[in-house]
Structure 1
Amino acid sequence: MTASADAEVAPASYRRIASLALPALVVLAAEPIYVLIDTAVVGHLGAVPLAALAAGATIMGLAAFIGAVLAYGTTARAARRYGAGDSDGAVAEGVQGTWLALAVGLVMVLVVEILAGPLATALGDTPAVADAAAQWLRIAILGAPFLLVAAAGQGWMRAIQDTVRPMWFVCVSFLISAVLAPILVYPVGLGLVGSAWANALAQAITGTLFLLALRREATSLRLDWPLLTKQLMANRDLIVRGGAMQACNISATAVAARVGATSLAAHQIGMQLWFFAALALDAVAIAAQALIGADLGAGKVATAKASAKRVTWVGLGYGVVFLIVVLALVPVLPRVFTSDATVRDQFGLIWPWLVAALPVAGVVFALDGVLLGAGDLVFTRNMSVAAAASWLPFIWLTLVFDWGLAGIWGGLVVFMLVRLAMILWRLRSGAWAVTGAERD
């Protein structure tokens, strides 16, 4: 084999993976860190406000889910264009993704403002929790268009392998909101509503920064209907994929609410820790998306496969590190988020399952990035639906057999193991590695 051939199949270096993953880690971790801070701030108001935040945050999670769809869909298409040498085309994908983000975000605001009460009642169970959740939702949803714009912005920037600017954009708004939330909740005296205002302001700042960046780099900001249609086709599979996961998350919250207010409050703490770990672990997936998409866009199949193997080991190591950190913090974490002893007792049912899922999640999320970067969206859709079908029975049978939070969280571990088995099979088959500036 010649030296040039060796270079052709060399996987992305650990340094290159880290240069993309570490700034992405800051971006991914900022939002859940803010939510964790918000949870801790609201948690000391009592079990009802914390349960209301859990219900409201679950509905707002739909906006985060749609944002992830826009980000992944934009990256999947734009990274191939970037690898094929078409940087302007990669940014053009970002323009269309941003138009989609604005349209969907405005629709979300309208729907939630009208239906906040019924939505909160469906998850809140008790009138006090439902009323508080509806108040929080009507304010927090105002940030949804900006949240989605920021997600689309991260998508095209990741595709051109720029994860540094998104890091700074997100950090600015995170610092402002992290300081503002406790001030509005306590000294100003807004209580739970102060949390919602801080949330909306943070999203507005971040979205505006991404809009300004797109305006500087795009050759045109006009709607391109043919390109927009292709993005919608890609997003269709991602919506089904994410919808299956959201069905599980919403069901878990609804069942936890029916177990009791303290169970829902503990579930909120556990889910925010899980979301934080999941998004932080997703930093490796972001690097994988950018690298694999560019390699396949340039026709470098062997390089893409070699990088996928390296990403697998990086993801596993990263997951083990998180496992160790969570184990070390378990004795103190519940007291950080709540002063209610019954809520802390309920959290004791969650943490063993949370810890068990982390190493599996490290591999699954990393390899998810490989398949998303390859544009293998149909398989990722089918995999997610199958995995959700393995978790949902655990969630709903909890009400029948009185498994409590252990049933919900044990089902999460099964969900992750099913995803792991399916994704490893797909990687081994090689069917994901399709080359070209676009994947049919």
Structure 2
Amino acid sequence: MTRSVPALALPALVVLAAEPLYLLVDTAVIGHLGTVELGGLAVGGGLLAPVAGLLNFLAYGTTARAARRAGAGDRAGAVAEGVQATWLALGLGLLGVLGLQLAAGPLTRLLAGGDGPVAQAAEGWLRVACLGLPLLLVALAGNGWLRGVAELGRPVRFVVAGSLVSLVLNPLLVYPAGLGLEGSAVANVCGQAVSAVLFLAALRREGVPLRPRLPAVLAQLTIGRDLLLRAAVLQGAFAVAAAVVARSSTAELGAHQIALQLWLFLALVLDAYAVAAQTLVGQALGAGRVADARAAAARVVWWGLGTGVVVAVVLLLARPVVAPLFTADPAVLGQAAVVWWFLAFVQPLAGVVFALDGVLMGAGDVGYLRTVTIGSALVGFVPLSLLSVPLGWGLPGVWTGLTLFIALRLVAVLARVSGDRWTRATVVR
């Protein structure tokens, strides 16, 4: 293995961070239109983002399958996994577009609390923005097979190119072109189209057959099913936590929102090691080099742990500066000071957990990951969150549940990687 962990993780981080950073800019642009438009973006985005997040298995599952084939010296087979993932992406994306077009009105009215201006704005945005779903999923599949063959530079260029198109078009379509909120959606779709075309062109240049193969698509759906269930439970657990905090004080809700957004952003940083682990472990096991796979697992764990420790220290030192960037309310800042300790403490644990998640994904051991994640959520995170209401634990109770959730996963994945079963898992048929 010639690629270092940082050489794989840093490009992955750029790709992972591109969409959240664009959304921040998009929010700032729409925010100057008015509160109705900003509310419409929040409602519409709140419906589209979970759909895209649940289908992220197109990247992670494809990376594992492609890496195993690439490690065995079968580059054409690795690229073929990308072909089948792309067909799956197009199929799921078109189904998603159809479903969202049919349900856009009822869903936006439900989330907005009635058929008011915000719901109408959200519906208009969602009907345009969802057209980019197949394009976004094609890009996810492209990321997957390129990571599998350890080519991290091209995904960065393709994703950044699309993001730049969106960033340039966004203010132009919203303001001078007079499209308003829907201009934001058009800009987003245009950027997604650029990225998708670049990924498709890269696939075409490989010279492999481009026809769909049903057995390969079904095999990818098997991995996707496990990762989809895992993602759905994660989102559900966080939704329960948010609902619990919403029943506490407004200050606690504000502090939770600040801490949660920081947690989600930092998770992107640490998740870059999971991407590196998938590539290194998948290729090593594909070549039959179990010792190298174990060595790669150890390397990504140390990188994840070290980065988590650094992030924790920076969080604690920077809290007096960072927290006031989000709010000037003394009550919210007081609650943020409480939750900040949980946010910092969990970073080293999360660094190791995310790295080992990548190890097991690279080995194709996604069924175990699914079971562990669901079990940890149902045993730790959700019960403690729900108990926080009758027992008056409030925000600390919810974040204790999150910490326990990560700790339980840590114990489970460490136990798995300490044995041999994960090295015998397979993702190739």
Same fold (TM over 0.5): yes
Q: Per the alignment, do residues 361 and 178 of structure 1 end up closer, same or farther by CA in structure 2, a change over 3 Å counting?
A: farther
What residue is the counterpart of 2:382 in the other structure? 392
Is 1:36 equivalent to 2:21 in the alignment? no
Match runs of 1:81-230 below 5 Å: 81-124=69-112, 132-181=121-170, 193-230=182-219
Tell me the residue number matched to 1:413. Answer: 403
Q: Cα 1:414–1:49, aligned 2, differ >3 Å: closer, same or farther?
A: farther
Is the aligned partner of 1:313 residue 2:286? no
Give the one of 289, 293, 299 matched to 1:300.
Answer: 289
Cα distance per residue 1:319-341 (max 9 Å; x no partner): 22333444455445456567888
CA shift in 2, pair 1:317/1:298, >3 Å: same
Provide the C-alpha distance between the structure 2 equivalents of 1:52 and 1:266, rounded to a whole number of angstroms: 23
Secondary structure of 2:4's match? helix
Deviation at 1:371, TM superposition (A): 0.4
- 1:65 aligns with 53
Tell whether the 8 Å contact from 2:364 to 2:427 is kept in structure 1 after alignment: no
CA gap of 1:401–1:431, structure 2 versus 1, over 3 A, is same
Take 2:125 and 2:68, find their aligned partners in 1: how far apart are those partners? 40
How far off its partner does 1:233 sit?
1.7
1:264 positional shift: 6.8
1:380 aligns with 2:380: no
Aligned residue identity for 2:150: Q
**Partners of 2:70 and 2:286 within 8 A in 1:** yes
Asked if the contact 1:74/1:231 (under 8 Å) is kept, the reply is: yes
Q: Structure 2 matches for 1:287-366, cutoff 5 A?
A: 287-327=276-316, 329-333=318-322, 350-366=339-355
Post-superposition offset of 1:280? 2.0
CA contact (8 A) 1:66 1:148 kept: no
- 1:28-47 deviation per Cα after TM superposition (whole angstroms, max 9, x unaligned): 12122223334455567787
Q: CA deviation at 1:408?
A: 4.0
CA distance in 2, matches of 1:265, 1:112: 30
Matches of 1:56 and 1:264 in 2, distance apart? 22
Conserved 8 A contact 2:83-2:210: yes
How many angstroms does 1:161 deviate by? 0.5
> Partner amino acid for 2:144?
G
1:260–1:214 distance in 2 versus 1, CA, 3 Å: farther
Tell me which of 268, 274, 277 is aligned to 1:279: 268
Q: Is the 8 A contact 2:365 2:426 kept in 1?
A: no
CA distance, structure 1, for counterparts of residue 255 and residue 134 of structure 2: 30
Matches of 1:221 and 1:21 in 2, distance apart? Answer: 29
Instruction: State the Cα RMSD in Å.
Output: 3.4
Unaligned runs of 5+ in 1: 1-11
CA 1:339 to 1:241, structure 2 compared with 1: closer, same or farther past 3 Å? same
> What is the distance in 2 between the residues matched to 1:238 and 1:276?
20
Q: Is the 8 A contact 1:122 1:254 kept in 2?
A: no
AA aligned to 1:294 is: Q
Please say if 1:367 is aligned against 2:347: no
**Length-normalised TM-score, structure 1:** 0.84
Q: Distance in 2 between matches of 1:341 and 1:49?
A: 29
Tell me the distance in 2 between the aligned counterparts of 1:106 and 1:294.
Answer: 32
CA shift at 1:18, angstroms? 1.8
Tell me the CA shift for residue 169 of structure 1: 0.8
Q: Which residue identity does 2:20 align to in structure 1?
A: P
Contact 2:316 2:344 (8 Å CA) reproduced? yes
Q: Distance in 1 between matches of 2:261 and 2:58?
A: 22
Q: Judge conservation of contact 1:123–1:257 (CA < 8 Å) in 2.
A: no
- Percentage identity across paired residues of the two chains: 51
* Structure 2 SS opposite 1:433: helix
The residue aligned with 1:76 is 64
Q: Secondary structure at the match of 1:206?
A: helix
Per-residue deviation at 1:141?
A: 2.0
Equivalent residue, structure 1, for 2:229: 240
State whether residues 77 and 93 of structure 1, in contact with CA within 8 Å, keep that contact through their aligned partners in structure 2.
Answer: yes
TM-score, scaled relative to structure 2: 0.86
Distance 1:181 1:88, change over 3 A: same
Q: CA separation in 2, counterparts of 1:51 and 1:325?
A: 33
Evaluate the alpha carbon distance shift between residue 105 and residue 250 of structure 1 in structure 2; reply closer, same or farther with a 3 A threshold. Answer: farther
Distance in 1 (alpha carbons) for counterparts of 2:335 and 2:422: 42
Give the aligned residue type for 2:7. S
Provide the aligned length of Structure 1 versus Structure 2: 427
